[in-house]
């Protein structure tokens, strides 16, 4: 129904009718339309098991791909509408922080800890700042700029390289600019 009518025009009564149940059945599980859509789009915690691909670059690439997929896959207008509602409703904002942001940051913390243990980091970036640097370009590409979502997988490596440069981390194969 999100694809058919869009986020803003989705009505709980129509969802119930389509599902063949009464509205009360929907409201027993989901107090609001926003909560229902949140549960559909974020059914589990973000990357319950942090990727371990053997390098910081590969691990963060997997995280960035998951972030991009989670934002690009819902029907057009859904993510911006839901994000607006997340900021408008404190209970939904708290669920988002717990289920999505904290999970992302925990994933990033584990990845950074492994990278530090492997000797890939001279300075450990702040997971909150790293989270913003990974999410920001994807949000901009998909929702602020009139660009094609199909280009996002190719651009993820550009976004990741820029993020690693901003955090003071070099990606594999990057030239060493340090003085000799």
Residue 63 to residue 163: CA distance in whole angstroms: 13
pLDDT at 179: 40
Burial class (CB in 10 A: 0-12, 13-18, 19+), 85: buried
Q: Which residue has the higher pLDDT, 154 or 176?
A: 154
Q: What three-state secondary structure class fits 27?
A: helix
Mean pLDDT of 13-29: 93
- pLDDT band of residue 110 (cuts 50, 70, 90) is very high
Overall average pLDDT of the 56-68 stretch: 92
Residue 73 structure tokens: 């896959």
State yes or no: pLDDT of 48 exceeds 80.
no
Q: Quickly state the pLDDT bin for 171 (edges 50, 70, 90).
A: very low
Q: What b/e readout covers 88-107, taking b as 16+ CB neighbours within 10 angstroms?
A: ebeebeebbeebbeebbbbb
pLDDT at 120 over 60: yes
Rounded to 10°, the helix 78-88/33-41 angle is: 120
pLDDT over 50 at 23, yes or no:
yes
More reliable by pLDDT, 171 or 105: 105
pLDDT score of 167 more than 90:
no
Domains of the chain: 44-166 (1.10.357.10)
Which residue bears the tokens 């859904």?
Answer: 78
- Check pLDDT > 80 for residue 174: no
Q: What local confidence, expressed as pLDDT, does residue 45 receive?
A: 63
Query: What average pLDDT is seen over the chain?
Result: 87
**Residues ≥6 apart with Cβ < 8 Å to 49:** none
pLDDT at 177: 42
pLDDT at 70: 87
What's the rounded mean pLDDT across residues 54-74?
Answer: 91
């Amino acid at each position: 129904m999100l694809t058919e009518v869009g986020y803003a025009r989705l009505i709980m009564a129509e969802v119930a009718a389509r599902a063949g149940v009464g509205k009360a059945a929907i409201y027993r599980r989901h107090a609001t339309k926003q909560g229902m859509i949140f549960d559909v789009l974020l059914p589990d915690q973000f990357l319950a098991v942090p990727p371990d691909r053997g390098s910081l670059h590969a691990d963060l690439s997997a995280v960035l791909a998951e972030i991009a997929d989670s934002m690009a896959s819902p029907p057009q207008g859904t993510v911006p509408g839901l994000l607006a509602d997340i900021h408008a409703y404190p209970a939904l904002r708290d669920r988002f922080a717990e289920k999505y942001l904290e999970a992302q940051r925990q994933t990033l913390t584990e990845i950074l800890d492994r990278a530090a243990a492997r000797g890939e980091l001279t300075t450990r970036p702040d997971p909150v700042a790293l989270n913003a640097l990974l999410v920001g370009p994807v949000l901009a590409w998909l929702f602020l700029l009139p660009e094609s979502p199909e280009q996002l997988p190719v651009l993820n490596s550009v976004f990741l390289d820029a993020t690693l440069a901003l955090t003071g981390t070099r990606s594999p194969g990057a030239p060493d600019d340090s003085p000799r």
